[in-house]
Structure 1
Amino acid sequence: MGTRMKHIPQDYPDRIRRLRAKLGLSQKRLAELLGVSFASVNRWENGQTRPNRLAWGQILRLELDGSGGLRKQPLTGGSSQVDGALFAAEDKAAYRLPDRRQLPEEPYSIDFTAPPEIVRLAVEAERLTYGHLFSPAFATETSLIDPLPHQRIAVYDHMLPQPRLRFLLADDAGAGKTIMAGLYIREMLTRRLIRRVLIVPPAGLVGNWQRELRTLFSLPFKIVTGADARAGNPFAGPESDLVIVSVDTLCSAQTFARLRESGVEPYDLVVFDEAHKLSADRNPDFTVRKTDRYRLAEAIAGASDDPDWMLPWRCHHLLLLTATPHMGKDFPYFCLWRLLEPEILSTIDAFNAYPAQARRRHFLRRTKEEMVRFDGTPIYPKRESRTLSYDLGPAEQRLYDETTGYIRTYYNRARILNRSAARLAMSIFQRRLASSTWALLQSLERRLEKLDGLIEAIRTGRLTEEQLTAYQRKIDKTPDVFERMTADEEEPQEGREQNEAVEDQALTGVVATSLAELQAERREVFDLLGLARRVFASGEEAKFEKLREVVQDERFKDEKILIFTEHRDTLDFLVRRLEGLGYTGRVAFIHGGMDYREREAQVAFFKRPAREGGANLMVATDAAGEGINLQFCWLMVNYDIPWNPARLEQRMGRVHRYKQMHDPVLIFNLVAGKTREGKVLKTLLEKLEQIRRELGSDKVFDVIGMQFEGVSLKELILLAVVDGQADEAVRQVEGRLTPEQVKARLAQREKLLG
């Protein structure tokens, strides 16, 4: 290779600059013609690196005829896969593989009897495996990416130099962790340092991983499903070298058993995306509670001592990706680290004593504020959050007052009786009351149906009053998904969002201990349902009118707007009402009940320009927001304000991310400012924005969960709604969110992360 490069003259930087000037091309446009990254052209012109022989050949052709007809041509040969080599139009035929049907069953011998095109491909494939010896960042030349400084540093300074990678990459959301992982995989495959790669993301991100690795890095990863595991072993044979499988699919007994079969070769590299989902924690008695996801990771990392979760092999390289490595508890954070070095970090004491210098070999985290372009300018634009208050109309106010009265009565009874499921049911009503009349109406109908079922069971003798009490104790363990989980931790269940399944169970929670008490509550719910139906039929919805003002604002004409809600019922309502405003066929929507193909189709519909038949608006639930990248949209509306502040940041991360070109990004929060919970939420939003501006950073969202330790935001809202102490709840929010407290928490968090 070295002798060939002597044909590139010393004045190549000047010649490239003159060529661009002659053709009137920007560096970016020339890079597109040559099929390389913008950064490569920039480095050539500055004399930092030389173009490779193939790229220089294209430059010479451009000098001669001013066009070139250039494109990227995938190249395969032998057992290795080499993609993205550059060829002129007249050379394409020479590098094209014959039709597979024309190939013999036995492989060719690379000698004088083999077809010339096969020999040429094999030789070229072998030659390109040494590309990194000339260009240490060779994968950036053969991929459709322009890696940013922080991405280059992660891959080429921290990851590639390690002969055995056991690494936790914990950059902020939107930093391009998928790109960094893909770049590392591309480099390692090209250098023939690895052959088999297994990627394990959440189910909702499987399609995203496959698409980005295919389009950006020409890596033909195959998605493995549960059906594949039932039909055979998808982890055996040459087709299993590059595989993506969701973490829950791989956790299932049948699929995991396939990994244990004798025909499976070890995977050289395993990547776990959203690694914080590999959760384990410690019980009060100091026993360790592990999820199946964590047991799976233990098995692959070679850290398992459970016979049911052991593999005959362990991966050599392990890469964990997460934007939230520390969720406020020290022990789960240690458990993540234990996967990296099971022998060294076998106890939390060993982890605490692990030197900072040693930790830096395994850990890297950069915040949004630290990420810049090559010229030093910030990658992320500014973000502005605006709270839009609205007042309920007379009929809505009556519905609010009567529903809140019902909630207060039954919540307090449930509190006295220690009925957590009944309390959860009441908090669900309060959330849905604030969301939309339609959402409340649907929950009231479901509640009435549940009550009717219990009443009928007691009347017919299928359920005694004692059994009713026992059943209530059984469902008291129903978790509040919205409070305990962030959106990316929810898992869909048979086409339903996890919060929907939980709500369905919680609405069976009652405080009644007799048939008479059940009948009394039924009458109350029936009356509320009638009122909700009348309000809905009237079309009165002050909150939607405030949304309409945003959507139809002349300043945002022809702009795309993302609208978030917590509830699928409200999503259905919004889609119908927005179409009624004249947006028929122009509203995209996604919810957690969709599979990744349906979600990708809706995202593509939203991304397509409106003049080409694309959507102007997208309505999404939190559970569907995971993994969708909408940086082409700079306007977002929080139609519902989540009671878990971490969900707010996750929503904003969909649009406030790398490649967002609009400055600033605008976030609108809709709040009924005069309602009890509205006062608390409005105070929270205003304090968050105030501190964010004062710190000049979004880091406040990193520690807001820690700020509400001991008393959750949900409890403060219920203090306002149920106990009528809105002023006290507001005071507590203000007391827990001060710039000084947030700075102290951030310092504490940085220390914990090491």
Structure 2
Amino acid sequence: MEPEVLSTDIAFSVYPKHARDVHFIRRTKEEMVRYDGTRIYPERISDTLSYDLSKGEISEQALYDATTRYIQTYYNKARMLNRAAACFAMSIFQRRLASSTYALLSSFKRRLAKLDEIIDDIQAGRITPEKLAAMQRKLDDIEDVSFSKTADEETSEDDQEEHDAAEGKALGGTIAANLADLEVERMQVRELLDLAQKVYYPGEESKFEKLLGVFQDPKSKNEKFIIFTEYRDTLVFLVRRLEGLGYTGRVAQIHGGMDYHERDEQVEFFRKPEEEGGARYLVATDAAGEGINLQFCWIMINYDIPWNPARLEQRMGRIHRYGQEHDPVLIINLVAGKTREGRVLKTLLDKLEKIRKELRSDKVFDVIGRVFEDISIKEYMEKAITDEGAGEAANAIEGLLTEEQIRAIEERERILYGEGGDIRKELARLQDTLSQEIYCRLLPGYVRGFVQKATPLMHIGIEGDLDTIFSFRALQSGALDGLWPSMEKYPEPKQNRLTVYRSHEKENAIFLHPGEPVFDALCQYICGKFEPLALKGGVFVDPSAQRPCFFHLALVKVERKADPALKPFAENELLEYRLVGLKQEQDGQVEECPIECLLLLRGGQGLPPSSIRFATTVKEAIESARVHAIGTIAASLAEERKRSLINSLPERETFIRQGYDYQEAELGARRAELSEKVRAGEAWAKQELVRVKERQRQLFQLREEALTVLNREPELIDPAGVEFLVHALAVPSSNPEDRMQQDQVIEEIAIRVACLYEEGSEAIVKNVSNPYLARKAGLLDWPGFDLLSIRKGGEERAIEVKGRAQVGDIEISENEWAKACNLRDRYWLYVVYNCASANPRLVRIQDPFGKLVVRAKGGMIIEEREIFGAGET
């Protein structure tokens, strides 16, 4: 999709449904279910606990009242004088007042230090009243990061979270015009600091006592707790108080001043069970929560409540993530409900929980940001400085946050993003798809086979059991040198403890699979070492073949060629490549065939005389195969891409033009809005206005460039060549025993006997013994078995059928044996003896991989006595 198409919200809203369906799929957490129908994400319950401030001459209530009077006085003056930094400074005190006494006390200390510095500079003649005014105007440009960014967007620098650094600067904002005004405010701040210290140092805080009550609740005995706060100062207070109460060594902490390594260490400390020395409590700031996985804990406490709705929404989702196993998860909010700010916040939080119950869905916690996207909670909280304002704010939230509003948001998003759909309705179809995918997996059979064959070629031995846990042992010096760097990425106890079964991964072992570093290193070594031999070619035996043929494995590619005149097309770009098998008969005819055909071949012992002449044509054959791969396969892929682009060209051109039209209109509106803010004295808007004007000037040229790129792209798409990986000469077997094994009539009799047996058990039987029938059943061309039987109750059997005219050993191909390893109890071996007689005899073996002993001879040979010993008749 061209990025210009959805350049604005309006452009997105008018984007047609049929086009959206191509690009978007919408899934909400509430919809997500497991294949058995149980929901993936647990229920969220939000419980708001109110506490009362202590009363008295030296008390929390006295500090609250005195601080509020100070905020009211200076905040109102700052608004009248249009001093953004001074307003910001007052809101800091209001927020920290609601967080903790220690956070407020720390802010008063910083405010006092700023005032002392300014007063000293004025008294020393370093600052004039004019310079003071200029400094204050400069401070007006400070960004209130707590509202302009979410916690995940916030950065850290010099051991400080971004919002803490911004608040530290803003505390220098003042409305004072002269030295006398500054000294008056300094005296007020000293008095407030003195009162805050007297309240704090006795060590009694009502909110903290409420927190301890939560910890001591019998319902949450032995559970872990996450405590979130906006402020590093509050985090320091909480950690000190908890450790002072005897929880030393049981408190983990994460804040934005830590690097990722330190954060990971603290998360692991918290993850570890208490009896093993782990922490019971994790205290974290919002900015430190980004990217950490806390699903092993199900109780989260909001020690303070963010005023930014997007941050509040993020908080509500911290433990409500994929992998959370406890149902429900509990979110506890601590609020001083009788304070003005607490009344507003409690109204908000109680309303969220009420709507959750009414809707019977906790989706409300995921749309807080959208509910308040055009309304500022910050403004409501600033109104709450007065009793009248607090009442108005609470009433406004009560009216705004309704069940109908949440449903309206859901409906709007449904229209914009499409139907999420009830995934439960899709389960039957998805379960059918999954049941088919089971028969196409590489794990563990093919990975096991690769490890078993690759390690001897690397002079590596295997100690232990390939079917449980094993280790590598160097058979010659340096054999493991190429693997150690990958193994050392794991904790030491896990290094060189390996498994090919996911179920054993929990036993402190490395689970080998594609994409895992140790397995990938194995593959890289084998491919690097034997690539020249694979390209040189080899001789193989095809027991089912009547004549020799060549088999080539190749990558065919499609690319978009470069056009230096257009920046997006400055370099060639690979668009598609496909791994294909090519089969080439003696008459030179080339046809595409499944790549699994390689798995059906056996290693040959030299070149049979009857195939020598054919083998000498290999160079011409390879060139002929190359021409076919480029001219037929790659050309078809390229043409398909071109046709798709050309067919959609008119519609995409319209979308681009509309996208730029909407962008032009939006920029015009934004320019008018910013011009108003600049005239109102908001300094930050000046730079943004310059940017908008520059964007408007560029718009026409960008539109023309986008349309040129759109029309040029189909012309640049072409086949990019072919890269051969393997050449093989497959010759018929000269072994009479092979001919007996491959007798078509005997095989058909055996298949018929097996089908009759299954149908006698009222099973639905699908014959998948050749590529056409396998594809018809939704499987790979060579699925590794002959029959797919679906019995009553949903039991499925993948049945490999072997027939013998009389009795004797049977041979299973490597492909069939790998599939038996993958499917285990689902895989059955049906051997039909005496097919040449009037009374064929069926022997059935469930899980032949686990029950039979085999010996290698091209494929796997299973002796007659093994079959009768393990089978059912």
TM-score for both structures, normalised by structure 2: 0.46
Match for residue 260 of structure 2?
A: 596
For the residues of structure 2 that align with 1:349 and 1:704, how far apart are their CA atoms? 22
Q: 1:555 aligned to 2:219?
A: yes
- Residues 484 and 357 from structure 1, CA distance in 2 versus in 1: closer, same or farther, beyond 3 angstroms? same
- Separation of aligned partners in 1, 2:305 and 2:403: 22
> How far apart, in 2, do the equivalents of 1:557 and 1:696 lie?
28
Asked if 1:474 corresponds to 2:138, the answer is yes
Distance 1:342 1:393, change over 3 A: closer
Q: Which of 310, 322, 325 lines up with 1:646 in the alignment?
A: 310
| Residues in 2 aligned to 1:471 and 1:650: alpha-carbon distance in whole angstroms | 36
Deviation at 1:579, TM superposition (A): 1.0
**TM-aligned CA deviation for residue 550 of structure 1:** 0.8
Q: CA deviation at 1:590?
A: 0.2
Q: In the alignment, what sits opposite 2:354?
A: 690
2:303 and 2:10 map into 1 onto residues whose CA distance is: 46
- Tell me the CA shift for residue 350 of structure 1: 6.4
Is it true that 1:372 corresponds to 2:33 in the alignment? yes
1:352, CA displacement in angstroms? Answer: 5.5
Q: Given residue 194 of structure 2, which amino acid in structure 1 is its aligned partner?
A: G
**What value does the CA root-mean-square deviation take over the aligned residues?**
1.8
Q: Residues 18-74 of structure 1, C-alpha deviation per residue, up to 9 Å, x if partnerless?
A: xxxxxxxxxxxxxxxxxxxxxxxxxxxxxxxxxxxxxxxxxxxxxxxxxxxxxxxxx
Q: Distance in 2 between matches of 1:475 and 1:537?
A: 33
Structure 1 stretch displaced more, 463-472 or 681-690? 463-472
CA contact (8 A) 1:590 1:621 kept: yes
Question: Partner amino acid for 1:571?
Answer: L
Deviation at 1:645, TM superposition (A): 2.6
Paired residue secondary structure (2:75): helix
1:360 and 1:421 mapped to 2: Cα distance? 47
Q: Output the CA distance in 1 between the equivalents of 2:355 and 2:222.
A: 33
Q: 2-side partners of 1:349 and 1:718: how far apart?
A: 32
Q: Deviations over 1:331-370 (max 9, x none)?
A: xxxxxxxxx5247667888656543233233323311111
Which residue in 2 is equivalent to 1:399?
63
- d(CA) in 1 for partners of 2:264 and 2:290? 12
> 2:292 corresponds to which residue?
628
The aligned counterpart of 1:417 is 81
Any residues of structure 2 matched to 1:123-142 within 5 Å, and which?
Answer: none
Partner of 1:361: 22
Count of paired positions: 415
Instruction: Check whether the contact 2:316–2:365 (CA below 8 A) recurs between aligned residues.
Output: no
Residues 719 and 346 of structure 1: CA distance in aligned 2, closer, same or farther (over 3 Å): closer
Q: 1:635-714 residue pairs with structure 2 within 5 A? A: 635-714=299-378
The residue type paired with residue 695 of structure 1 is L
Query: 2:390 pairs with 713, 726, 751, which one?
Result: 726
Query: CA 1:461–1:568 in 2, change beyond 3 Å: closer, same or farther?
Result: same
- Aligned-partner Cα distance in 2 for 1:350–1:734: 33
CA distance in 2, matches of 1:347, 1:381: 35
Instruction: State, as a whole percentage, how many aligned pairs show the same letter.
Output: 65
- Please give the alpha-carbon distance, in whole angstroms, between the structure 2 residues aligned to 1:379 and 1:551: 28
Larger proportion of strand: 2
Question: Structure 1 pair 700/463, CA: closer, same or farther in 2 (3 Å)?
Answer: same
Deviation at 1:717, TM superposition (A): 1.3
> 2:45 matched to 1:384?
yes
**Would the aligned equivalents of 1:646 and 1:701 in 2 still touch at CA under 8 Å?**
no
SS of equivalent to 1:538:
coil
Counterpart AA for 1:588 = A
1:654 Cα offset (Å):
2.0
Partner letter of residue 109 of structure 2? Answer: E
Give structure 1 regions of 4+ aligned residues with deviation exceeding 6 angstroms: 346-350
Aligned AA for 1:638?
Answer: N
Match of 1:28 in 2: none
CA–CA separation in structure 1 for the residues paired with 2:179 and 2:117: 12
Q: Distance in 1 between matches of 2:13 and 2:161?
A: 38
Structure 2 residue matching 1:650: 3-state secondary structure:
helix
> Do the aligned partners of 2:24 and 2:417 also contact (CA within 8 Å) in 1?
no
Structure 2: how far apart are the matches of 1:445 and 1:571? 17
Tell me by how many angstroms 1:632 deviates: 0.7
**Counterpart of 1:749?**
413
1:601-624 CA-partner distances (Å, limit 9, x unpaired): 000000000000000000000001
Partner of 1:442: 106
CA distance in 2, matches of 1:346, 1:751: 18
Indicate how the Cα distance of structure 1 residues 471 and 722 shifts in structure 2: closer, same or farther if over 3 A, else same: farther
Equivalence for 1:150:
none
Hey, what's the Cα distance between the residues in 1 that align with 2:415 and 2:135? 46
Partner of 1:736: 400
Q: Does 1:615 align with 2:276?
A: no
1:714 is displaced (CA, Å) by: 1.1
In the TM superposition, what are the counterparts of 1:213-612 in structure 2 within 5 Å? 340-342=1-3, 354-394=15-55, 395-612=59-276
**Post-superposition offset of 1:680:** 0.3
CA contact (8 A) 1:391 1:542 kept: yes
Q: TM-score, normalised by structure 1?
A: 0.53
Q: State whether residues 481 and 490 of structure 1, in contact with CA within 8 Å, keep that contact through their aligned partners in structure 2.
A: yes
Q: Deviations over 1:521-551 (max 9, x none)?
A: 0000011001111111111200000001111
SS at match of 1:361: helix
Which moves more between the two structures, 626-635 or 707-716? 707-716
**Are the equivalent residues in 2 in contact too, given 1:590–1:599 (CA < 8 A)?**
yes
1:564 is paired with a residue whose SS is strand
Residue 420 of structure 1: how far off its partner (Å): 1.0
Tell me if the contact between 1:574 and 1:619 (Cα under 8 Å) persists in the aligned partners: yes
Per-residue CA deviation, residues 98-126 of structure 1 (Å, 9 max, x unaligned), is xxxxxxxxxxxxxxxxxxxxxxxxxxxxx
Aligned equivalents of 2:371 and 2:8: distance in 1? 28
- Higher mean displacement: 743-752 or 697-706: 697-706
Runs of at least 5 residues in structure 2 that lack an aligned partner in the other structure:
419-873
Equivalents in 2 of 1:526, 1:346: separation in Å? 52
Cα distance, 1:351–1:747 mapped onto 2, change above 3 Å: closer
Residue type of the partner of 2:32? Answer: M
Q: Is the 8 A contact 1:408 1:723 kept in 2?
A: no
Tell me if structure 2 keeps the 8 A contact 1:645–1:701: no
Which of the pair has more CA radius of gyration?
Answer: 2
The CA deviation at 1:661 is 1.5
Q: Distance in 2 between matches of 1:364 and 1:452?
A: 58
Q: Could you tell me how far apart the structure 2 residues matched to 1:566 and 1:735 are? A: 27
Indicate if the aligned counterparts of 2:29 and 2:41 stay in contact, CA closer than 8 A.
yes
CA distance in structure 1 between the partners assigned to 2:404 and 2:3 by the alignment: 38
Give the Cα separation in 1 of the matches to 2:153 and 2:365: 17
The offset of 1:480, in angstroms, is 1.7
- Flag the 1:474–1:690 CA change in 2: closer, same or farther, 3 A: same
SS of residue in 2 equivalent to 1:699: helix
Distance (Å, rounded) in 2 between the aligned partners of 1:579 and 1:632: 23
- The one-letter code sitting in structure 2 at the alignment partner of 1:384 is I
Is the CA contact 1:407–1:722 (under 8 Å) kept in the aligned structure 2?
no
Distance 1:426 1:345 in 2: 40
* Whole-angstrom CA distance in 1 between matches of 2:187 and 2:77: 17
Q: SS of 1:490's equivalent?
A: coil
